Structure 1
Amino acid sequence: MATLRNVFISHHHKDDSSVDSVTRILSGKEYNIRNSSIRAKPENQRRLNEKKVSDLTIKRLLRMKMRWASKVIVVIGKETHSRPWVNWEIELAHKLGKPIVGVYENGLKDQVEVPINLEKYESSRVAWRSDAIIGALEGESRFENIDGSLADDKKGSHSVC
């Protein structure tokens, strides 16, 4: 029987396919991920780009969706560190006391920059492997490099009791 997890997946909209992929690889390991993040259809993305939806409205919607989730995954891609909404979501997750798991996007070869708030508040950061992601979701505090090797000792990370 699959373990149901309500997860908010923070990501840069260009990495939408990675959200689908992480959901798929975890479902293959008997996890049922219900993602509560916002994924705009093209017509809605256009409205967002044209600022026809206020930031206050977006924040209210994100807060509702994140409160519902028990954990937060941040997909770390090449441009994630530069996305203001990703940093805002990470800070919100921290304020709400959610465990925050950074997951390097599949296929990255070189080290990438990590969002500043992820550096501050993450409980784990792992490579793109189902066992590592599941361990982090289960509360294992593990810090890996992009290739899955253990990262240097991480001090001051957000811990979950």
Structure 2
Amino acid sequence: MKSIFVSYVYEDIKYLNKIKRWESKGLLPGYTIVAEKEDNRTSGKKAVKEYLKPLINKANIVLVLIGDNTHNHNWITWEVEVANSLHKDIACMRIPNTTGSKPQILNKYPELQFHANQITSKF
């Protein structure tokens, strides 16, 4: 079973929930979704990092959701830096009907369309 850490801007949580529904409906056979379960930003940066790093570490893949506000979000960049340091597979998935650019750190990674089969065919 491969685990996927989903990196996203918290305001885009409905798309994380859709990916979790793909998993529960059996559309991601052989994969399990790992993501933050709560918004920890009010706990401070150190607490957020301590919470997220083990989740990224235990994942096989980091999937970054790209939307209108992803390009200016420092946490996305930090999560990708951690994933890179841990030698994780990384891909981006475009949120439907958005045109925001990817953070520069993600320019070399493929951008998938927002469909379950994009994940299963890539990894």
Query: TM bucket by the smaller chain?
Result: 0.7 to 0.9
Question: Which of 87, 101, 104 is residue 91 of structure 2 equivalent to?
Answer: 101
C-alpha distance in 2, partners of 1:127/1:114?
Answer: 14
User: For residue 12 of structure 1, what is the amino acid of its counterpart?
Assistant: V
User: For residue 132 of structure 1, what is the amino acid of its counterpart?
Assistant: Q
What are the Cα deviations for residues 101-148 of structure 1, in whole angstroms up to 9, with x where unaligned? 100013x1x53211121114x2x2111122222212x2xxxxxxxxxx
- Share of identical aligned residues, percent? 21
C-alpha distance in 1, partners of 2:79/2:3?
Answer: 16
C-alpha distance in 1, partners of 2:47/2:116?
Answer: 34
| Residues 132 and 36 (structure 1), Cα distance of their counterparts in 2 relative to 1, 3 Å cut | closer
Matches within 5 A, 1:1-161: 4-26=1-23, 27-31=25-29, 33-40=31-38, 45=39, 48-49=41-42, 53-106=43-96, 108=97, 111-120=99-108, 122=109, 124-136=110-122, 138=123
Higher relative contact order (CA 8 A, sep 6+): 2
| Corresponding pairs, count | 122
- The two structures, once aligned, show a CA RMSD in angstroms of 2.0
Unaligned runs of 5+ in 2: none
C-alpha distance in 1, partners of 2:120/2:28?
Answer: 10
C-alpha distance in 2, partners of 1:33/1:115?
Answer: 26
- Whose Rg is larger? 1
User: For residue 78 of structure 1, what is the amino acid of its counterpart?
Assistant: D
Q: SS where residue 78 of structure 1 aligns? A: coil
TM-score scaled by structure 1?
Answer: 0.67
